Each structure stands twice: as C-alpha cells, then as structure tokens.
Structure 1
Amino acid sequence: MDLPVNPPVQPMLAKPVSAVPRSGGYAFEPKWDGFRCLVFRDGDEVELASRNTKPLTRYFPEVVAAIKEQLPERVVLDGELFVAQTTPEGGERLQFEVLQERIHPAKSRIDMLAGKTPAGFVAFDLLALGDTSYAGRPFTERRAVLEEALAHLDGGPCFLTRITTDPDEAQDWFQEFEGAGLDGVIAKPLDAPYQPNQRTMLKIKHERTADVVVAGYREHKTSTPEHPLLGSLLLGLYDHGKLQHVGVSASFTAKRRAELIEELQPLVCDLADHPWGDWQEWAIANPDRVPGTQSRWSQGKDLGFTPLRPERVLEVKYDHMEGRRFRHTAQFKRWRPDRDPESCGYEQLEEPVSYDLGRILSGGDRHE
C-alpha cells in the first residue's frame, strides 16, 4: 500500500461540551454510534483500522467489497462502521450490540453475520485522494473534495454523512436523530486541519438522570486486603418485580473508592440471598448480561462481584440506552435515601421518539 497518508493513523478526536455552539465557525454532523474506522484503499488493497489503529478488515468482508465497488481507487477516509436493523415501526435504527457481535475469531461466524446483519460505512472526513494528501487542508476544503468524490453514492452500503453550518438545524438533529440510535452531534472547526489524536472537534451528547438500585460492586484492580478500593458499582432496575442488571458506575477518585467500599460493607450479603444468585450458575453471556457471566469479550477476566442487599438508591447521569442497559458507564450523582428501591423501574427512563435512520442516510428530510 502506497498512499499519501499510510496507516497507522490515529483519528481526530472530540471533547465534550454541554450545548451546540452558536459561534466560532463550525460545521455540524450527526454523531454516529458505531465503530470509528479509517479506510485506506489503494486499488485492490483495502485496510480498515480502528480508533486505536487495530485492524478491523477481516471482521467486515462485506464492507471491504463495498469499498472496492463504491469508493475511489486511491483514498483515505475517516468514518464509522455501523449496523442498522428494521424497527417494529418499519424504519431503521442503529444497533451497536449487533455490531459488536462481528468481532469474533471464527471466520465462519463472521461470514454468516456479514450476510445476516451486514454492516455499512459512513464517511465524514477525507485524509487523502489519489496522490494528494488533504490532512493539512482546512475542513471546508476537505469536505468540498469529499462531496465531489462521493457524489455518486446512492443507497449504501457506503454513505456520506450529512452536514450543516446552521446551529438551529444541528439542534434539531440532536433532538430528532436519537430516535434512530444516533449519539448526538459533532461540531468541526471549519478552518482546522485534520489533527490525529487531538481533541479538535466538539461533541454534544445526550445527558439524562435515573434513580437506580445499587446491587453489588467489583473491587478496583489496585485493591488489596490492607487497602480495599471499590472499582465499580453494579446497578439495577426493577422490571415486573425482578431486578435487572442495567449497567455500572465506575469513575471515582482513589479517596472516594476507599470511602465507598467502607460505606457499603453493612450491605454485603451471601450470593444465595441475592436477586442475582441464580445467574451465577450461567456459563455464558445471556440476554440480561448479568454480572459474573462469561462472554467472548471477557474470557480470562475476573468477573466476580460482591453482592449487596438491594436497599440503596443512587441517582446517576447517563447518555442513552442500548436495549435494556446504559450504553456507557453511568456517572455517580448522589445517593437518594428518599427513594424506595422497588420504585426504581424502567418507566422512569425517557424514550426518544422513533426516527428512521434511512432518512438520515439518504438526506431525505431535505427533499420532502
């Protein structure tokens, strides 16, 4: 492979902000919820690289084939791999958990999933085209060349992301596109070059709160018997009287880790007396992804946890749900001694209005 920009390349990153910026010269894009992916194509040679430069090529043979068919002969693109599936309402929605299934050691399973749940690729930046590197050019120029190079794309599986310079339209996208599984909005400085591994962009993500039950904890990797430290809190929500595992809260200072593990000791109980006691007997991952069970993502890791009587309620901040769990680690906000644990159910969670991903990928709203 001999391109103006060759792998490995770390992608440009974004820092979080609380709102869509109203000044400063930005272009806005939907924030995709998939695998960040840099595409390197030099004729019949195609490499897909992850955010941390690890190879993704073998996991997505159908995307490699689409790149050879749809993208320019010599090109380097920044974008996102995704899987979309049809919803009960008839539209399409991003499915991150289905996408995760593609990272599998068996070629036979990869090939099966490539046909059953094929992935797509959405491009949102250009690093090189032909014999020219555009990495040092301002985003306005990179985008203009990218639009011309990918103008022929129609219907996937390779797409060009939507873009606007109107903050009001970006705010509308932030509200509406979550219903299709998107993660928020990205703001890119119009005059900035492509800066690998630098947080040049801004990201605006959804933030919500929920009251959850603390059902257990795992110890931190640096914990010792003399100085125990809490690593993560295991969180639950009730569904028809059954406590479901909904995610974890894990970002604490060392001082707070020591305080929390001491504070929770009076609640430690035997696993046999815990709502999740029976689940410890399961040998593989299960639909509820309960703690202590193995999956291909966790082989060799210590997944044991200390069960706690589910008597304490915690308010956490989270961005959005993936199925019945928090998509990312929830942030500890405050204890809620005024809440009854059994009152903490899924009905408190905000449900985004359904939105068809196909309308976003096709730019359909602009033509209605």
Structure 2
Amino acid sequence: MTLRPPVQPMLAQAAESVPGPGVLGPLAFEQKFDGFRALLFTPAGPGGRVLMQSRRGALIQDRFPDLAAAAEQQLPDGLVLDGELLIWDPEEGRLSFEALQRRAAVRGRNAPPLAARWPAYFVAFDVLQLGGEEIMNRPYVERRALLEDLFADHGLTAPWTLCPMTTDLATAREWLETWTDVSGVEGLVVKGMNQRYTQAARGWYKIRRRDSTEAVIGAVTGTLARPQLLVLGRHDSTGRLRAVGRTVPLRPDASRLVGEYLAAAAPGHPWTGVRFAAAWGSRDVLDATLVRPDLVAEVSADRAIDRGGVFRHPLRFKRLRTDVTVEDVPRFGVGPNTAAG
C-alpha cells in the first residue's frame, strides 16, 4: 500500500556530543536547519494531488502553493519525501523563521501573495516512498543513495535542496563550528547508516551549537531563596529591559548560589504586570516572581533566536557574573555568541 498522510515522522533526541559508533554503528551527519518539519506526498497516479503534512499531521499544502505547484511539475508520482521547510527573505538576504511562521499561518487566497514575497524551499533529507513503493525498512544508506539519485535523475534545483550529508567526523565538526554562523543552520543531526526509518521513534540525535552569553535576571520561579528557573532580559536601545528567554530548571547547587544574591523587586520594575510564556509559542504562563534586575547570568544558548532577539529554546545557566554590571550585557537583539568579556 502507498503511504498516505498522516505519517508520524522519525524524530531526534538532543545530545551534547556525537554518540559513539557503538550506539548507532557507522554514522552519517546531516546539517540541521531551523525550519518547519514537513512530509511531501506526490499522487500515486493521474487525478491525485500533492499533499504536504506538518510534523503533527496537519495538511499544509494550501499554505505553500508554490511548493505544491513545483512538486506537480518536477517530482515523480508515488513519492514521499521527509524534510524541512525554509523561507528565504530576499529583502533581508537571509533565511527567515519569522516569514516562515507567517506563511504557515495563512491559507486560501492570501497564500499566493505571501509565496511571491517569501518563496519557500524544501530541504529533503529522507525518502520514504519511491515509485509507489514504501522503503522505510531499508537502511538509511540505501535511502540516502536513492534520494541522491532522485535529485540527479530529475535535475532537481530550487525550490528543492538535497540536505548536505557527510560520513567524515572532521567535516561534521567543521560544519558545527562554521556553518552554524549562517542564519538558519543550527547544528547537526546524527543518524546510523544502517538505521531503518521508524515512525515516531527518537532514534536520531541532534546536536545544536551552543555559545556562552550574558543576560540580566529579571524574574524567577520558585522562591527567592531557592529559584527554580530564571527569566532573563536585555536592555534595548532605549534602555528598556526586554525579556529574551528563560533557563531550564536550575541544579540545586546553582539554585542555592543564585538565591544568595537575589533581592525582591522594588516598585516600578519594568516587568510589572507582564506575563511570561512557559515555553516559546506556548499559551501557558509561568508563576514568576520579579526580582531586582541588577544580577547578570552567564548562560549557554543555541542559534535559534528570533530577529527581535528572543531565544526560542530554553537557556542553560552556567554561572553568575558578579564581575560585570548590567551595562556590560549585550543589547537586545544581539546574537548568542556575544559575551560581556
């Protein structure tokens, strides 16, 4: 039977370093892009239509009519690709997650104008079905070879991109250190050459580049003596303290240390009345307590940051920077690889 949506995509679990070969056997390393996961289905025969599915199974082809039209013209029937949706902003000259969000939220007659302004690209990193034959049980090395043949045989170019892959560890490390300086590239995905594609399983590993930077502690959850996590901010060009993210829960020793320095907020705190989301894009809010915004925290951050300067993923607390002041903290909107020194 041919695959039809919804198909649960195979997933990756976070890792701090490259897993040893004993975990997955021979390894392949793919560049990890900061986009939207999507599966693309071409019809099995005449009369069908191209379908696109989000990671959670929603059909989204009407939000990306440019890709659907390109698939009808350029891709063979009975194909299922797994990949990442990206948007290139020609005005900014960079990949734009913000533009991708806008396109993903608009459908119907409003979608084509946005497609003309912000064209979409599909970075393919796996093929699950070819010529109507489901191939998920084949090892990754075979599926990758078939994916490369697909691009070569059909002369696929933009909006189709073959995800860069290497089996050389030195090359992968170079990608992690240098390619992640490019907007939209945030790390590596590590796969076993002999792995099958297992739906919904977290059988791959993802490694995001992380850099140290500083931010101001403006609020906490828990108590002042034993904070659970920190809500962090940076000052913008007008001197206003803007929230930029939150940390993961603090370790007990870090919680005790930070608690020794925290002080309750005085009247007129810049975040008075502000509600903080429990996670990026979430409607849940934190039960936060405002604190005096005069402490600087050094944190570890990945490269997923909005153009406005908000970190999309939780930060990791490293230490207090009692040797610097809030004036030494990078301004709001500055990337994670800038530190106070």
TM-score, scaled relative to structure 1: 0.75
Separation in 2, partners of 1:134, 1:41: 15
Equivalent of 1:234 in 224, 231, 235: 231
Alignment correspondent of 2:299: 316
User: Counterparts in 2 of 1:85-104, with a 5 A limit?
Assistant: 85-86=89-90, 92-104=93-105
Distance change >3 Å, CA 93–CA 328, structure 1 → 2: same
TM-score, scaled relative to structure 2: 0.80
Alignment correspondent of 1:274: 269
Separation in 2, partners of 1:14, 1:72: 28
Deviation at 1:103, TM superposition (A): 2.8
Deviation at 1:36, TM superposition (A): 0.6
Separation in 2, partners of 1:32, 1:349: 17
Separation in 2, partners of 1:244, 1:209: 20
Alignment correspondent of 2:321: 336
Residues 247 and 329 in structure 1, CA contact (< 8 A), matched pair in contact too: no
User: What do the CA deviations read for 1:281-308 (whole angstroms, capped 9, x no partner)?
Assistant: xxxxxxxxx9679xxx67x766996543
User: Counterparts in 2 of 1:183-202, with a 5 A limit?
Assistant: 183-202=186-205
Alignment correspondent of 1:41: 42
User: Counterparts in 2 of 1:161-172, with a 5 A limit?
Assistant: 161-172=163-174
User: Counterparts in 2 of 1:135-150, with a 5 A limit?
Assistant: 135-150=136-151
Deviation at 1:69, TM superposition (A): 1.7
Residues 263 and 292 in structure 2, CA contact (< 8 A), matched pair in contact too: no
Residues 20 and 171 in structure 1, CA contact (< 8 A), matched pair in contact too: no
User: What do the CA deviations read for 1:95-124 (whole angstroms, capped 9, x no partner)?
Assistant: 212211123256344332111111111111
Distance change >3 Å, CA 232–CA 162, structure 1 → 2: same
Distance change >3 Å, CA 153–CA 36, structure 1 → 2: farther
Equivalent of 1:75 in 56, 75, 79: 79
Residues 104 and 110 in structure 1, CA contact (< 8 A), matched pair in contact too: no
Identify unmatched segments of 5+ residues in structure 1: 224-228, 281-289, 352-368
Residues 275 and 285 in structure 2, CA contact (< 8 A), matched pair in contact too: no
Residues 70 and 158 in structure 1, CA contact (< 8 A), matched pair in contact too: no
Separation in 1, partners of 2:335, 2:179: 21
Residues 2 and 78 in structure 2, CA contact (< 8 A), matched pair in contact too: no
Equivalent of 1:160 in 153, 162, 181: 162
User: Counterparts in 2 of 1:252-291, with a 5 A limit?
Assistant: 252=249, 266-270=263-267, 273-275=268-270
Alignment correspondent of 1:213: 216
Separation in 2, partners of 1:156, 1:94: 14
Residues 20 and 170 in structure 1, CA contact (< 8 A), matched pair in contact too: no
Identify unmatched segments of 5+ residues in structure 2: none
Aligned length: 321
Separation in 2, partners of 1:343, 1:241: 15
Deviation at 1:267, TM superposition (A): 2.1
Separation in 1, partners of 2:335, 2:182: 20
Alignment correspondent of 2:337: 350
Separation in 2, partners of 1:47, 1:215: 45
Q: Are 1:11 and 2:9 an aligned pair?
A: yes
Question: 1:326 aligns to what SS in structure 2?
Answer: coil
Equivalent of 2:55 in 51, 55, 62: 51
Deviation at 1:348, TM superposition (A): 8.7
CA RMSD of aligned residues (A): 3.5
